Amino acid sequence: MSFRRPGAAVQTAVLILIFALPLPSHGGVIPLPAKVDLGRGWFSVDSRAIILIPPGDHDAEAAAHHLDALWTRTNGLTLPVRSLAARAGTPTIEFRRRMGFGAEAYGIVVTQQRITVTATSSAGLYYGAVTLWQLLPPGSNTAQIPVQIIRDAPSLAWRGLMLDSSRHFQSPSFIRSMIDWMSWHKLNVLHWHLTDDQGWRLQIRRYPRLTTVGAWRVEPDGSRYGGFYTQKEVQDIVRFAATRHVQIVPEIEMPGHASAMIAAYPHLGSANATSSSPAPTVSSSWGVHSHLLNVEPDTFRFLKNVLAEVMALFPSRAIHIGGDETVKDEWRNSHQVQARCLQLKVCDPEALQAYFTKSIGRYAAAHGRRIIGWDEILQPGLRRDAIVMSWHGVAGAHAAALAGNDAILAPWPTLYFDNRQSLLPTEPTGRLQVISLEDVYRFEPRDASLSARQRHHVLGIEAALWSEHMQTEERVQWMALPRAAALA
């Protein structure tokens, strides 16, 4: 698939936002650092400056080269990266490692002679570099950064964006560019929605039909639409994301939103074997579909084999198993499912979903992972290590926190970036509701009604790019920015 890198457009969006918003003395950094103390005077950056790193510190070296690459791109400024101090009087930008900073925290001290970026972790050094990049106004290769002291650490650990690659497919190079600009905003989780009714997008070696069949649909005009990521492509993306301190959390939807999986392997479905309704195909329409996986031991074996390959590809501790919008009619009407429920003594369809979640959760835990699901998984008996992603507003997250489960706020409509941003005619077609930049910026993730301990269970926030109405990569980017900056 041919593809034009959207780098320039994103960069422009980031820069317009940084320099056009009349915010207080933040130095142009998004997100606003936790603490900025401005002093007097300036550090002049020009081509005589050097970047100094501790000898043999690969994380500092990576952060330094990243800063250099960004300044080269936006300012035409390329500085030497060295591990030996230069002659007295050489303007120096130093990366330094020191204990005592939090997991993603860093400090920057700007004096007239020297800039020092200090952190304990690799992510902290990286975020220090990103902040420093943004402190220099773009466009010129000689510029001044005000004397100041910055102390920064994120207030939430999970700062996510969800990308739906099922309804529409995006190229690996687009995914990489998205990871890049996410990291410039210090967003750190890409939740990758890889399977749904309209397409299965991840190569699974053991079950090739998932992609030979499940990745392709016939559109209403008769054309074939689809695509998938090979394991090699995924490995490359995961490796790239690690260099940007972005964790990729894969989502494999079950037991609903599974038409593509069932189209590829019909024995996984629950449609009544004797019914005249045809087996599901990979869907070419939107909305909630009725097809559910069945609850046979064979189906769980299949899912576990799939998850084994997923876990081998994605080091993320959290694995998303969907769980949303499971209309239970097929389960109620299927002889096979009913027979199995009698054996299991779980005949209430809601309880059957809880059984489903429990089986998969146990498997994930046995492999050192924890499941995440949409808030429908919050049912009696949910494992304590399961994470609840609240999309029915924030209620699901609060219920989860009260129950002692970790939770993520991903509420419709505010963090649903498939909603349009304005009523301007330049807005794409799609959802009618308007969620503006300001609406997103004003979203308040802290709920005063939760106790400190309950609040501790709210890991963070996530915005969703559901792609039914985002046919192209440019459209995904349009819908994501600048609202992702407000999210950050």
**Active-site residue among 152, 164, 196, 375?**
196
Q: Least Å distance between CB 418 and ligand TNX?
A: 6
User: Can you tell me whether residue 172 is helix, strand or coil?
Assistant: helix
What is the smallest separation between the CB atom of 391 and ligand TNX, expressed in angstroms?
A: 4
User: Could you give the angle at the alpha carbon of 164 between the alpha carbons of 370 and 479, nearest 5°?
Assistant: 125
C-alpha span between 126 and 59 (Å, rounded): 8
Q: Which is nearer to ligand TNX, 61 or 418 (CB)?
A: 418
Q: Which residues bind ligand TNX (CB under 6 A)?
A: 324-325, 374, 391, 418, 466, 468
On the CB side of 7, CA atoms within 13 Å amount to 7
Residue 264 contacts residue 210 (beta carbons within 8 Å): yes
**CA-based nearest residue to 158, from 437, 424, 410:** 410
Which candidate in 168, 185, 245, 257 is catalytic? 257
Let me know if 325 is a catalytic residue.
yes
CB of 344 to ligand TNX, least distance (A): 26
> Closest distance between ligand TNX and the C-beta of residue 464, in Å?
7
Q: Which is nearer to ligand TNX, 236 or 468 (CB)?
A: 468
Instruction: Please provide the size of the chain in residues.
Output: 488
Q: Are 386 and 377 in contact (CB under 8 A)?
A: yes
- In the annotation, is 196 catalytic? yes
Residue 115's DSSP bridge partners are 93, 110
Pick 104 or 418: Cβ nearer ligand TNX: 418
Minimum Å gap between C-beta 243 and ligand TNX is: 30
Q: How many CB atoms neighbour CB 275 within 10 A?
A: 11
Q: What would the DSSP string read from start to end of 384-452?
A: TT-EEEEEETTHHHHHHHHHT-EEEEEEETTTBTTEES-SSTTSPSSEEEE--HHHHHH-----TTS-H
List the catalytic residues: 196, 257, 325
